[in-house]
Chains A and B, each alone.
Chain A
Amino acid sequence: MTPEDGRTLVAEAPANASRSKLKLIDCDVHHALRSSKDLYPYMATRWHDHIAQFGRRRPVPFLASSPYPKTAPALSRTDSWPPNGGPPGSDLAFLQEQLLDRYNIEYGMLHLLTSGMDERNQDLGNALCCAINDWQYEHWTQKDKRLKAAIVVPGEDAVAAVKEIERWAGNPDFCQISIVTHSIEPLGRRRYWPIYEAAQAHNLPIGLHSSGTNGHAVTSAGWCSYYVEEQHNVALSQQNLAISLVCEGVFERFPALKAVIVEAGFVWVPAVCWRLDQHWARMRGEVPHLTKKPSEYFRSNLWYSSQPADEPENPQDLRQVIEWLGWDRLMFATDYPHWDMDNPEHAFKFRMTEAEQQQVFAGNARAVYGLA
């Protein structure tokens, strides 16, 4: 799709080479299916017939709509539609050109938003997740070693999820586990613990990219009117799941578990920590399983992707926030090809030292994901 009005008569844009010397690790790259039928070769014929006859059962509230912000078609940069057709993110060669080569990206962490993770029919959901992982492996990570996939699992079915984690654990093409964040219960609840146990056992971080639908609005008071609200509320829902993971004691039971909050911002972390610590000092007896201040778990077990990087009036304010947060917590992400993508050359409007850049743009992710 090209901009609908205004013909581009001549496109003389030369291929832009990266100006960045730094090799980056991009913690949020969206690949996409050209069609849901791309998954059929990896699914039993039984499911082809099932989908044709009964369709998917996803708890999506708006008919023919999506609860996600969609300020642009497919949520994407209008210049990211592949010239050979298909939706943004579906063409490996174009993704290489527009993202990996252009910005000197050493590794890109893939997050697929279309998935079977929130399918209500659990057997179908599991079949879809398994097919997605086979498809990711064959069509993406095996074709470009810079791309690293997440093991997509049906989070509401912990037994099936663990089985799928074990099918891929140890395969270097898969660097984390992905579950939907809009879950049926807060993600710290014990029904999800077998997934965290497997994640810790295999040293795989849980990648928590806002995704899925659980039939509920992301606000606690129903559906908001505007995407501009929803865009922010989605980040609030990520704060809630981080609070749940901490307060339920997930990191006490699984102290080596790593969780990465993706695309929810990071400026909120210090404020949430200050307030939680204050509550904890007064109500510690309610949650005696927490042996340390809530803020300490936010600094030991959770990491945060940078995009969309906030743009305060005074850019230096962002430096102060990162100092509160800790330079070892923040991991750069573009969110390519989505419309709110961050360009690594311009995302941060203040100057970082070389050491700080090294941490945010590569070092932290290298450590978290165990990349060479």
Chain B
Amino acid sequence: MARHIVADAGEIPPGGRKLVTIRGREIGVFNQGGEYFALLNRCPHQGAELCKGTLIGLATSTGPGNFELTRHGEMLKCPWHGWEYEIRTGQSWCDPNDIKARAYPVTVEHGATLVKGPYVAETFQVEIEQDYVVIEV
């Protein structure tokens, strides 16, 4: 596992995302209400670019005739077959035990901490007064 700086903390707005390539792997980094999550850009079902999917809420029901839409923006819907994944964990909604998108830990760290290393930041000039989004891959 190595820590990779992938964005300035202000770069990805809430509800936004950024696709990065780390050691040959494409990873989508999402800002969900100030919290960051990272998923491999590959749907485990048929290999579509999952992180280009739409962020939706979770529709549930306690019985025919009623429904609830909760967790707005926390579900990622695959651009192909529409499989839904939790962006927090990568767990699929319809087959949670067997189908899971690869998730990576994300933290926001202060430049002053990061400069002590170790970290990988090919494209970032780390400044000590800035915050950065860091993924462990």
Contact A12 B30 (CB under 8 A): no
Number of interface residues of B (CB under 8 A): 27
B residues within 8 A CB of A342? 46
Contact B52 A345 (CB under 8 A): no
Q: Which among A12, A71, A72, A346 is the interface contact of B19 at CB below 8 angstroms? A: A12
Could you tell me which A residues sit within 8 Å of B by CB distance? 3-14, 71-72, 77-79, 339-343, 345-347
Could you tell me which B residues sit within 8 Å of A by CB distance? 11-13, 15-21, 26, 30, 41, 45-49, 52-55, 73, 79-82
Residue ID in chain B nearest A342 by CB atoms = B46
23 A-B contact pairs sorted by A residue (CB < 8 Å) = A3-B52, A3-B53, A5-B54, A6-B15, A6-B16, A6-B73, A7-B13, A8-B17, A8-B18, A9-B19, A10-B18, A13-B19, A13-B49, A72-B82, A77-B79, A78-B53, A79-B48, A79-B49, A79-B80, A343-B80, A346-B45, A346-B47, A347-B46
Q: Which among A4, A14, A72, A78 is the interface contact of B52 at CB below 8 angstroms? A: A78
Contact A12 B79 (CB under 8 A): no
Residue ID in chain A nearest B45 by CB atoms = A346
Complex Cα distance A345/B44, Å? 12
Contact B16 A341 (CB under 8 A): no
Complex Cα distance A347/B46, Å? 7
Q: Which among A3, A13, A79, A340 is the interface contact of B26 at CB below 8 angstroms? A: A13
Residue ID in chain B nearest A71 by CB atoms = B82
A residues within 8 A CB of B53? 3, 78
Q: Which among A9, A340, A347 is the interface contact of B16 at CB below 8 angstroms? A: A9
Contact B48 A4 (CB under 8 A): no
Contact B19 A341 (CB under 8 A): no
Q: Which among B17, B20, B45, B46 is the interface contact of A12 at CB below 8 angstroms? A: B20
- Quote the shortest CB–CB distance from A68 to chain B (angstroms): 15
Known A-B contacts A77-B80, A78-B52; A6 and B46 likewise in contact (beta carbons under 8 Å): no
Complex Cα distance A52/B19, Å? 46
Contact B54 A78 (CB under 8 A): yes
Extra 7 A-B pairs, beta carbons < 8 Å, given A9-B17, A9-B19 = A3-B54, A6-B15, A8-B17, A8-B19, A12-B20, A13-B49, A77-B80
Residue ID in chain A nearest B80 by CB atoms = A77
A residues within 8 A CB of B55? 3, 5-6
Residue among B12, B26, B30, B81 having the largest count of chain A Cβ atoms under 10 Å: B81
- Quote the shortest CB–CB distance from B70 to chain A (angstroms): 16
Contact A5 B19 (CB under 8 A): no
9 tightest Cβ-Cβ pairs between the two chains A and B: A78-B79, A3-B54, A346-B46, A343-B46, A9-B18, A79-B79, A6-B55, A7-B16, A12-B21
Complex Cα distance A72/B40, Å? 23
Contact B17 A7 (CB under 8 A): yes
Complex Cα distance A72/B30, Å? 22
